[in-house]
Amino acid sequence: MYSFEPNEEQKMLVETIGRYATSDLRAKAHDAEEGGQLPQNLIDKGWELGYLQASVPEDYGGFGERSAVTGVLAAEELAFGDLAGALAVLAPGLFVTPILLGGTQEQKEKYISAVIDSEWKPYTAALIEPAYDFDPNDLKTAAVEDGDSYVITGEKVMAPFADQAKAMIVYARMGERNKGFIVDRRDGNTEGLEVGERQKLLGIHALPVFRVTFNGLRVPKENRLGGQEGHDFAPVLDSARVAMAGLAVGLSRAAFEYSRDYAKDRDVFGVKAAQKQAIAFMLAEMATEIEAIRLLAWEAAWMLDNNKPEASQWAYLALTGATDMAMMVTDRAVQILGGHGYIREHPVELWMRNGRGIAMLNGLAVV
């Protein structure tokens, strides 16, 4: 039996992140979206809240233990402020969390503390591929063993901060299974790695994402995630799915609350818009769907934390439900604002564009 009540530490984390999301991320989101760049001090402030550090054991430089439930709570609060900002703050987790889940003792000692010991640094991962039918369980990027190295060939898209990342994890097909490989750019041995121009997307304009091409990139055998034995890809993918579900809930909650407050304040033919039955029904359905997916994401995360055999199924359901919910809620938020919903001064149009991306952004956050 599990509880739906966050513990005291989780409540404190949610409150702290919530203040940052509202006072900092939300306040800067419009200008960052229009300018195509998040202020570095904004990312640094979010990093200093210590979510990732609190998810890492003391042996590797952190001060806590990983919890997918806590990660989902943090992701929701961050996305309530701004999705691009949330993904930027969480980006180093794309590198750290998979190593924590599947890395060797040597890999954990070598890489994790270097990421979390001080200020935010650009570490990332490359999972998504440029295919309309992209399936994270059937990657086209391939890794082949060759002497003392693995040779990686393929192409990835939407890799955050790939242009400046000190190291990244690239996921590739090896035989019948997906495996992660640590590409450490600090050693200068990156022949065959090409980072293209920054990609232009429908939303998250403030987050720099890049196409990355691997033309026979050689990765030392010791940099295979999990070493010679490799690692299980499923926990990484499941953690990415619940992370994106949590982000979708936060994004949708922001759109719901903004449109609800607008409708309660807006006069239409002598009454408040929220008193119109059509608007009231939309708001009720939006709230219902948000709460349903929030509970589903929490349950999936709890299953991951407790190594339940059905965790992968529930993580998939959480992301699938969150994808539909985010698009419905953000679209209705635009409708509720009427003509104002189409004006860029109101944030609902940004939330709708970002909501459309939930289906395609799986892999840009891991908790």
Q: How many C-beta neighbours within 10 Å does residue 184 have?
A: 16
Report pLDDT digits (tens) over 160-210. 999 999 999 999 999 999 999 999 998 877 899 999 999 999 999 999 999
- Predicted TM-score of the model (pTM): 0.96
The CA distance from 202 to 353, in Å, is: 6
Directed axis angle between helix 26-35 and helix 83-90, to 10°?
Answer: 90
Look at residue 2 in the predicted model and tell me its pLDDT. Answer: 59
The CA distance from 207 to 91, in Å, is: 10
The CA distance from 326 to 172, in Å, is: 29
Report pLDDT digits (tens) over 250-299. 999 999 999 999 999 988 888 888 899 999 999 999 999 999 999 999 99
Look at residue 186 in the predicted model and tell me its pLDDT. Answer: 86
Identity of the amino acid at 310:
E
- Render the burial of 187-216: b for 16+ CB within 10 Å, e for the rest: eeeeebbebeeeeebebbbbbbbbbbbbee
The CA distance from 252 to 248, in Å, is: 6
State the pairing for strand pair 142-146/193-198.
unpaired
Return the H-helix or E-strand segment holding 158: strand 149-160
> Concatenated DSSP letters for 200-214?
--SS-TTS-EEEEEE
Which domains does the chain possess?
A: 8-116 (1.10.540.10), 123-229 (2.40.110.10), 233-357 (1.20.140.10)
Average pLDDT over the chain, rounded to whole? 95
What are the pLDDT tens digits along the chain (367 aa)? 457 788 898 999 999 999 999 999 999 999 999 999 999 999 999 999 999 999 999 999 999 999 999 999 999 999 999 999 999 999 999 999 999 999 999 999 999 999 998 899 999 999 999 998 999 999 999 999 999 999 999 999 999 999 999 999 999 999 999 999 999 998 877 899 999 999 999 999 999 999 999 999 999 999 999 998 899 999 999 999 999 999 999 999 999 999 999 999 988 888 888 899 999 999 999 999 999 999 999 999 999 999 999 999 999 999 999 999 999 999 999 999 999 999 999 999 999 999 999 999 999 999 9
Please tell me what DSSP assigns to residue 64. Answer: S
